[in-house]
A and B are shown apart, each in its own frame.
Chain A
């Protein structure tokens, strides 16, 4: 039997930078409050189509984004609003897109499942899980050809790691030494199928060994650990050291989407979710390290709540795309 731990790489732990940590905490809170709002809007049918909230993945998304440079590219997962928020995407345009409004990022045509925000370096969300891996490899090829010093972070879920694209992409990225960080967010569940049943490895991270790249297995609810790990992998990639594979472990909050009551999940797991709540964990870290006070956090909550309320109000006031305009634009297209 192989000892999985011996196959893993552990990132160098950096001392906590107070200013940066406060910023990360703020973003984690932004993602949470943003998602709590989207769920309400989904239930009241203001957000249309699909919705896959990031709750449970906030620290993984925020920490990973922080580990990159501004010009780096991110491929989010289908549960990836947190990346958009962490990258500073416009809350107004995000809300408008989720509501199917013309003023959204993609003119209200792509919503939760296909949104893209090139202005903040975020490529399109994929409705076909795992299909983003080869595309991320392609951006890595472009970075290499253009010698632009950029790195791509390719996020995907534990479920998507079961797709054949995982093998094709990690192999290609490795033989070409591409600047790509493969970031598997393992939230324990692929819709109703648990990681323990879907995955023959103790962690996807040990699969990195087979692709001659470092594999990291990190606590995805610990924002600083995720940040240090992605930063190390991104810097290696930027320096020409090739790709890495990171598995960040989180626990999914409730169902696959707001209409899934998750009857297949063990009751204890749902009841103890608080132990894995990234907001609670980051909050405790901030308080313990005396980086923020209770009052600071309350103040932050107020500020963010206001920002989100404004975005919601703005989104609601926007117009749906006019059918005639849409028809005129797409008619006669090949």
Chain B
């Protein structure tokens, strides 16, 4: 199958949806001539023009608010916040408006908008360009959240998100943009709310998100040599969470470890652990454990960064300590 980079797959999703539907527009910083900080909107300005590809000043609150207003009028805006850290400037728009409008106006208003952003450490760029803040948004009723880990999922989920009539956040990861993977030439969609078993196994379920899916897969490969068969499940969507797939996996393995890059405290791992405790307690041979980012403010130093987030090695050690 054809191989595409993660950012190329997202770019293709945007091109396809913008070509199909002129209501789809893009709003954000550096999305125009620059082609996006991570090159997701490369070539779009030339193709669709400045009315639909809207470069903005630095105004995160207005970027989200503008997308909201455009969506209220029947457009299908995609707002880009290039680093999730910056999204804190738009928290009012997201938390008090995007997440709530459809519920305060039941049956009266639709909000078909997508907020694309990315998180994760990479290159030692410090605590204001490296965070993983997805859990903040998962706490707000009214927002769907997808976190694709492969080029295939990225394209399929973004296309589904753009066609959804409710607000969707698509949270990418800076370490994934250059990752290559199979992406079919023909059109396809990945459903929101459906987890994916990335590797089958029988001894333990590793539930990993975003870039950590790849570290978990490497760990699973190494664990094979240790005589441990690990299953890797990628929720792909955090809200709504595909509880059935997670429970089915735990039913088979009786052990679960949740891995994510975001800090451990109140991270999505806490929610997944609680859900498994409620729904899969009878199948478990031990507690659901977490292996996540350190509860620190990330240093602006690539040399120190690796100790702050899980890696294939640390996941392997953690699994061995559980099953050892």
Contact = CB atoms under 8 A, between A and B. Distances in A.
Query: Do the two chains belong together in a single complex?
Result: yes
Interface of A: 73, 105-107, 109-110, 114, 116, 118, 123-124, 126-128, 131, 133-146, 152, 164-165, 168-169, 171-172, 175-176, 329-330, 333-334
Contacts of A334: 141-144, 166, 239-240
Contact of B96 (A106, A109, A123, A128): A128
Nearest to A150: B73
B65 A137 contact: yes
18 contacts: A107-B106, A124-B104, A127-B96, A128-B92, A133-B65, A135-B97, A137-B69, A138-B70, A138-B73, A141-B75, A142-B75, A145-B70, A164-B61, A165-B61, A168-B59, A176-B54, A334-B166, A334-B239
6 A-B pairs closest in CB distance:
A138-B69, A134-B65, A142-B73, A168-B62, A135-B69, A168-B59
B45 interface: no
Nearest to B79: A138
Contacts of B97: 126, 128, 131, 135
Contacts of A152: 69
A172 B54 CA distance: 10
Interface in B90-128: 92-93, 96-97, 100-101, 103-109
Given A110-B104, A114-B104, A131-B92, A141 B70 contact: yes
Q: Is the interface of A mostly helix, strand, loop or mixed?
A: helix
Contact of B62 (A118, A144, A172): A172
Contact of B64 (A127, A134, A136): A134
A296 B143 CA distance: 53
Q: Chain B interface residue count: which class?
A: 35 or more
Given A131-B93, A142-B75, A172-B57, A116 B109 contact: yes
B64 to A, nearest CB: 7
A206 B108 CA distance: 37
Given A124-B101, A172-B56, A334-B239, A137 B66 contact: yes
Contacts of A168: 57, 59, 61-62, 65
Q: Is the interface of B mostly helix, strand, loop or mixed?
A: mixed
Nearest to B102: A333
A116 B69 contact: no
A126 B93 CA distance: 11
A333 B75 contact: no
B223 interface: no
A200 to B, nearest CB: 21
Given A107-B106, A124-B101, A334-B143, A140 B69 contact: yes
A152 B109 CA distance: 17
B93 A141 contact: no
B97 to A, nearest CB: 6
A138 B77 contact: yes
A126 B144 CA distance: 22
B65 A73 contact: no
Interface string B34-67: 0000000000000000011010110101111111
Given A142-B75, A172-B62, A334-B143, A136 B54 contact: no
A104 to B, nearest CB: 11
B25 interface: yes
A72 to B, nearest CB: 12
A143 B25 CA distance: 13
B68 interface: yes
B74 interface: yes
A123 B57 CA distance: 26
B103 A169 contact: no
B144 A136 contact: no
A135 B72 contact: yes
B48 to A, nearest CB: 11
A183 to B, nearest CB: 16
B258 interface: no
B87 to A, nearest CB: 14
B65 A138 contact: yes
Q: Which among B56, B68, B97, B105 has the highest number of chain A CB atoms within 10 Å?
A: B105
A140 B77 CA distance: 13
A73 to B, nearest CB: 7
A116 B62 contact: no
Interface in B128-159: 141-144
A123 B72 contact: yes
Contact of A141 (B54, B57, B142): B54
Given A145-B25, A176-B54, A139 B59 contact: no
B71 interface: yes
Contacts of B106: 106-107, 109, 329
Contact of A134 (B51, B61, B142): B61
A134 B108 contact: no
B173 to A, nearest CB: 22
Given A73-B73, A131-B97, A333-B142, 19 more contacts: A106-B105, A109-B103, A110-B105, A116-B104, A124-B101, A131-B65, A131-B93, A133-B62, A133-B65, A134-B59, A134-B68, A138-B71, A141-B25, A141-B69, A142-B72, A142-B74, A168-B62, A172-B56, A175-B57
